[in-house]
Amino acid sequence: MSKENSYPDNFIRYIGTGGGRFSMIRQQRGTGGIWIGCRGLSGIIDPGPGSLAHICAANPTLLSDELDFVMLTHKHVDHSTDANVLIECMTQGGFEKKGTIIAPSDALFGDDRVIMEYSQRRAERIHIPRDGSVIDIGNGLAAEAVEHLHHGVECYGYIFRAPGVPEWGMISDSRMLPSFAQRYKNCEFISMNVTFPDRKKHLDHISIEEAKELLSQLNAKNAVFTHLGAMMTSPEGRHFLEDLDTERTDVTAARDGMVVDLETHEISFCGENFPASAPWQR
Ligand SMILES: [Zn+2]
């Protein structure tokens, strides 16, 4: 990590980089989502199984009770199982009405909701993304929702804008959509959920092959592929994650604990004190 063992001013840290059911079941990679530290705010996107444990173990320290927002792209279990516990962290054990939840409507309402009503009542604000809506997260940080297509659930990617931070985007689980080339064209950095090496027509997931095609139409200088399926993270499949650069874009395969500086796009790797030892245990 950097000289003084701290995070850049504006950064993301990959808490977990596994994707798909077998990567999750075997915990070949963590499934804790992405931590964002930006404009003095802290947020978590898609906190799947193990997210809180890995946040508490993170080195340098991340403080779960200083979260300002909890954001879901969609409600599948590998993206959402720790959402309620992280809302509990954000709201100081539910004692303080605080923070923002950003989640699609089917994650919040209906019989199959994944964010409990109890948790929803604890947050100060709830935003429900719609395609093209711009969510004001606070301190100048805004997120534009981009509609995805993903196995019958509502799913959104986001484009983040903040003063002093180059525009960046995240593409979540989705069938590759023609609209992405237009919507993400101004992003200088993109984090993409890339689950398989080759395209699979019957599945609403992006492959390495399709991700590279998309990057050839965008202007991103740097990209990270994450949410990596078991086929690519097993020892026999690791070669799929080598030589990913395209003509325009430097591409890095994500690893758990990887940090991206959102201003310079410099990448570094951080450790964990595992088993989890949060600062108050040390
Ligand atoms: Zn999914």
pLDDT in tens, 18-75: 988 888 998 989 999 999 999 999 999 999 999 999 999 999 999 999 999 999 999 9
Residue 153: the pLDDT is: 97
Of 18-27, 109-118, 160-169, least confident by mean pLDDT is: 18-27
Q: How far is CA 137 from CA 68, 100, 121, 191, in A?
A: 9, 8, 18, 19
Compute the distance from residue 181 Cα to the ligand 1 centre, in Å.
21
Compute the distance from residue 271 Cα to the ligand 1 centre, in Å.
27
Q: Using the 8-state DSSP alphabet, how is residue 18 labeled?
A: B
How large a percentage of the chain has pLDDT more than 90?
85
Which residue reads 């931070």 in tokens?
165
Q: DSSP 3-state assignment of 150?
A: strand
Cα–chain center distance at 15: 9
Residue 23: the pLDDT is: 87
Compute the distance from residue 280 Cα to the ligand 1 centre, in Å.
34
Does residue 107 carry a pLDDT above 60? yes
Compute the distance from residue 173 Cα to the ligand 1 centre, in Å.
5
Domain 11-273: give its CATH code: 3.60.15.10
Extract the tokens encoding 219: 């202007």
What average pLDDT does the segment 82-89 reach? 98
Residue 5: the pLDDT is: 79
Over residues 125-135, the pLDDT tens digits come to 999 999 999 99
With cut-offs at 50, 70 and 90, classify the pLDDT of residue 2: very low
Compute the distance from residue 2 Cα to the ligand 1 centre, in Å.
33
Where are the chain's structural domains?
11-273
What average pLDDT does the segment 164-170 reach? 98
Residue 281: the pLDDT is: 53
Residue 117: the pLDDT is: 97
What average pLDDT does the segment 196-218 reach? 94
List residues bridging with 196 in a β-sheet. 207
Does residue 178 carry a pLDDT above 90? yes
Identify how many contiguous H helices and E strands the chain contains and give both numbers: 9, 18
Compute the distance from residue 113 Cα to the ligand 1 centre, in Å.
15
Q: How far is CA 222 from CA 74, 131, 137, in A?
A: 25, 25, 24
Does residue 181 carry a pLDDT above 50? yes
What average pLDDT does the segment 160-177 reach? 97
Compute the distance from residue 17 Cα to the ligand 1 centre, in Å.
13
Compute the distance from residue 83 Cα to the ligand 1 centre, in Å.
15
List residues bridging with 150 in a β-sheet. 153
Residue 275: the pLDDT is: 63
One-letter amino acid of 279: P
Compute the distance from residue 1 Cα to the ligand 1 centre, in Å.
31
Compute the distance from residue 155 Cα to the ligand 1 centre, in Å.
8
Contacts of 186 by beta carbon, 8 Å cutoff, 6+ apart: 159, 167, 219
Compute the distance from residue 255 Cα to the ligand 1 centre, in Å.
19
Q: Which residues surround ligand 1, an ion (CB under 5 A)?
A: 76, 173
Compute the distance from residue 74 Cα to the ligand 1 centre, in Å.
7
Compute the distance from residue 50 Cα to the ligand 1 centre, in Å.
17
Residue 199: the pLDDT is: 87
Compute the distance from residue 132 Cα to the ligand 1 centre, in Å.
21
Does residue 277 carry a pLDDT above 70? no
Compute the distance from residue 162 Cα to the ligand 1 centre, in Å.
27
Compute the distance from residue 259 Cα to the ligand 1 centre, in Å.
23
Compute the distance from residue 142 Cα to the ligand 1 centre, in Å.
24
Does residue 3 carry a pLDDT above 50? no
